[in-house]
Amino acid sequence: MEKCHDPHPAATFSHKVDDPDTKTFIDASKSVNMLLEDKKLNNSADNAMERYLGESEWS
């Protein structure tokens, strides 16, 4: 049986997306990275990552 072509393969990245030292996204716009400085948004994102992905604070 021939394997079907998956039109939506799992995402793989050949380069680093985030910088944990500065807590920014490398290719994101300045306005997106400025949103990460919002403590309420940052805490919400951390809680979501920990709750749903089992990760915490840029691990």
19: pLDDT strictly greater than 80: yes
Question: What's the pTM value of the predicted model, to 2 decimals?
Answer: 0.46
* pLDDT, mean over the chain: 76
pLDDT > 70: what percent of the chain? 66
CA distances from 43 to 1, 5, 11, 32, 37 (A): 48, 39, 26, 16, 10
Contact partners, residue 57, CB within 8 Å, separation at least 6 = 46, 49
- Reported in sequence order, the residue ranges of the chain that DSSP labels E, i.e. its strands, are 18-19, 24-25
Average pLDDT over residues 1-18: 62
